[in-house]
Structure 1
Amino acid sequence: MMSLHLVVPDGIDDPARASGGNVYDGRLRDGLTGLGWEVVEHAVSGPWPWPDAAATAALSAALDAVPDGALVLVDGLVASASPAVLVPAARRLALGVLVHLPLGVDVPAARAAEREVLLAARTVVATSAWTREWLRHHYVLATVHAAPPGVDRAPVAAGSGTGGALLGVGRASRAKGYDVLAAALEMLDDLPWSCTWVGRVDEVDPVTAGRGRIDLAGPLAPGLLAERYDAADLLVLPSRGETYGMVVTEALARGVPVLASDVGGVREALGQTSDGQLPGLLVAPGDPRALAAGLRLWLTDADFRATLRVSALDRRTDLAGWDTTVARVLEALPTPTPTLRGARP
């Protein structure tokens, strides 16, 4: 039986702490287990990505417990700011790093440490082609493997029948552009619409939270979230940055078109139909007027809505599942060895 030690932030299965990275880590673990792998999960607590002394010690202890030469895959959220722990560990372990969001994207000061970690690893797996190219360009890495998230097939959404049911999914934060959406919707008071936002709301100030008549549903269990997707006509993703955007493919899996910011890997997740059309609309990030214009077009033009629905249904047919993601990660994993240079005596 093949064995993998998977080092992840604690709480990846906690619905209240749902994130794309947590879902990815859990689906990878479950997919490998389903293929007969022994997956030893090491959940490390700490203020990631910037660990304190206690978190660094916990990470070091977790890796010290792994036998020499063993195959290890560490979530970049845990690894990338900890070269003092990861670089020595890489000398005795078949170490890979799974990068969801490079720390250096938002914090250039972190790039030196992150690059040191990734250069020491025997393999680097990025969760989107956009992330792979970013790492190659900024860190001059010879090889980075891309394993984008999969998506589960789902029934075609019923929608509202009017086009006015809007849905946002993710943490209600500035990074996800919640404030941009609230401001955009204020410009559409002359039109009929409803908007639900599913996700944590702890980063939303009371003033912003009260704007735009948005229903803040908070985190929802998978079954309840599926009900919100089924009722939606359009997914809105106004993020200021995304390495992929798993909610995009979750919507498309139900034939729901997407209106999103044209940032990072969102265009990759959105993809194209068989005849080269976008199953949604992309607008400039951080621009409420641009988002409002896109929403107004959707809400007022029935032919436009019908075209995007057809495109979303077309794109739905060729979305990759999580089995493809797991297979791509497997192809990227290094071969475990009994001993490695620099292993402990």
Structure 2
Amino acid sequence: MKTLCFAYPGDLETPTGGYGYDRKVIAGLRDLGWQVDLVSLGDGFPFPSQSTLAKARELFARVPDGGRLVVDGLALGVMDEAAAEQAERLDLIALVHHPLCRETGLSPDQAAELFQSERKSLTHARHVIVTSHATSDQVTDLFAIAQKDITVVLPGTDIPAPVSRAASGTTRLLSVGTVVPRKGYDLLLAALADLAELDWNLDVVGGLDADPDCYSALQAQVVDFGLSDRVTFHGAVAPKMLPDFYRSADVFVLASRYEGYGMAYTEALAYALPVIGSGGGAVKDTLPPRASVYCGTEDIDSLRQALQLLILDEGRRRDMSAAARISAAQLPSWRDAATQFALSLEAGDA
């Protein structure tokens, strides 16, 4: 039986796109006959305590000689010393969702420190797996990792049963993503503030604990804009509850400043939702033009125009919904993703 250790930071059940990718790939590899041993590296990444980092290094050292070790980049990016220690002994594979130094809200010193540690870590990996072509290009441009040493494994998408949406007077907007500056909720609220005369409401689904200051600022923004009765922050929800939000929505909108891929966008397409998005090349490459409106990063005017269009024009929403369903059928499945992931792991066996 083919085996590997999969090391990850924090709680694997955390309801974010990155952890969701990890869970799906692990399950898919197991379905393909792989033995996947899970290694939890502890909390606090990418800024772990020294004790957490020391324990994580010990866990790396426990992997048997010659063992295949896949490490989520949220942890590996700050484990350059451990990577250097184990590179000759292990088959080390980096899984990079997006470069850590590109996270919104970092201080210049934090970004510089993360850049240096991630660059060093990735040079010690035998291979790097990324979740989008845009991230592949960034890993090469930022860290000088050759393209031949990178494999793009796009996330899969589960296609639900067709959704029937009853028309209503209120346009139901949905945004899904952890409440952090990178997700651009402040931009979305600013755009919606000028559309208060229209009939809409916004549901935001995503963890509230990652950046309490960001959440507090957004709550204040909602009050300042007079949107308290229009915007609801639901926090993180169990995976089995998330489909209900997609089914009850009319439009999906996420004003991200940056995304390594943007799984929430493709999930929305699978539920036949018209999509408004931003977030750089990975998102622009993912969104089909007939089913979406792509707005430039931090372009509040474009965001406002797109929202106004889809709030007012039910016929346009209906056409985009049909296009979303067609586009979603062409996306890779999670079995496709797991199969490609496995092939990239096996490439080093030759």
Give the alignment of 1:146-157 within 5 angstroms: 146-157=152-163
Give the alignment of 1:32-71 within 5 angstroms: 32-71=29-68
Cα displacement string for residues 90-133 of structure 1 (whole angstroms, at most 9, x for unaligned residues): 11001100001112324244223212211111110001111111
Q: Secondary structure at the match of 2:183?
A: coil
CA distance in structure 2 between the partners assigned to 1:49 and 1:264 by the alignment: 24
Shift of residue 334, structure 1, vs aligned partner: 5.2
Shift of residue 82, structure 1, vs aligned partner: 1.5
1:257 is matched with 274
CA gap of 1:294–1:320, structure 2 versus 1, over 3 A, is same
CA distance in structure 2 between the partners assigned to 1:288 and 1:114 by the alignment: 32
CA gap of 1:201–1:104, structure 2 versus 1, over 3 A, is closer
Q: Residue 43 of structure 2 aligns to which amino acid in structure 1?
A: G
Please report the RMSD computed on the Cα atoms of aligned residues, expressed in angstroms: 1.8
Q: Percent same amino acid among aligned pairs? A: 31
2:190 is matched with 183
Q: Which runs of 5+ in 1 are unaligned?
A: 338-345
More displaced stretch, 1-10 vs 200-209 = 200-209
The question of whether the paired residues in 1 share the 8 Å contact of 2:77 and 2:100 is answered with yes
CA distance in structure 1 between the partners assigned to 2:162 and 2:254 by the alignment: 20
CA gap of 1:11–1:92, structure 2 versus 1, over 3 A, is same
The question of whether the paired residues in 2 share the 8 Å contact of 1:169 and 1:237 is answered with yes
Shift of residue 89, structure 1, vs aligned partner: 0.8
Cα displacement string for residues 180-203 of structure 1 (whole angstroms, at most 9, x for unaligned residues): 111211111111112111112343
Q: Residue 234 of structure 1 aligns to which amino acid in structure 2?
A: V
Q: Residue 286 of structure 2 aligns to which amino acid in structure 1?
A: A
2:2 is matched with 2
Q: Residue 278 of structure 2 aligns to which amino acid in structure 1?
A: S
CA distance in structure 2 between the partners assigned to 1:336 and 1:177 by the alignment: 39
CA distance in structure 2 between the partners assigned to 1:184 and 1:154 by the alignment: 31
Indicate which of 160, 173, 177 corresponds to 2:180.
173
Give the alignment of 1:306-321 within 5 angstroms: 306-321=318-333
Shift of residue 209, structure 1, vs aligned partner: 4.6
Q: Residue 230 of structure 1 aligns to which amino acid in structure 2?
A: R
CA distance in structure 2 between the partners assigned to 1:79 and 1:71 by the alignment: 15
2:17 is matched with 20
Shift of residue 324, structure 1, vs aligned partner: 1.1
1:134 is matched with 138
Give the alignment of 1:86-125 within 5 angstroms: 86-106=83-103, 107-125=111-129
CA distance in structure 2 between the partners assigned to 1:9 and 1:131 by the alignment: 20
- Which runs of structure 1 show a deviation greater than 4 angstroms over 4 or more consecutive aligned residues? 334-337
Q: Residue 33 of structure 2 aligns to which amino acid in structure 1?
A: G
2:28 is matched with 31
Shift of residue 267, structure 1, vs aligned partner: 1.7
Q: Residue 80 of structure 2 aligns to which amino acid in structure 1?
A: P
Indicate which of 269, 276, 295 corresponds to 2:286.
269
1:324 is matched with 336
Q: Which runs of 5+ in 2 are unaligned?
A: 104-110
Q: Normalized against structure 1, the TM-score is what? A: 0.90
2:80 is matched with 83
Q: Residue 5 of structure 1 aligns to which amino acid in structure 2?
A: C
The question of whether the paired residues in 1 share the 8 Å contact of 2:10 and 2:45 is answered with no
Q: Residue 118 of structure 1 aligns to which amino acid in structure 2?
A: L
Alignment of 1:281 onto 2:293 = yes
The question of whether the paired residues in 2 share the 8 Å contact of 1:242 and 1:263 is answered with yes
CA gap of 1:262–1:71, structure 2 versus 1, over 3 A, is closer
More displaced stretch, 107-116 vs 87-96 = 107-116
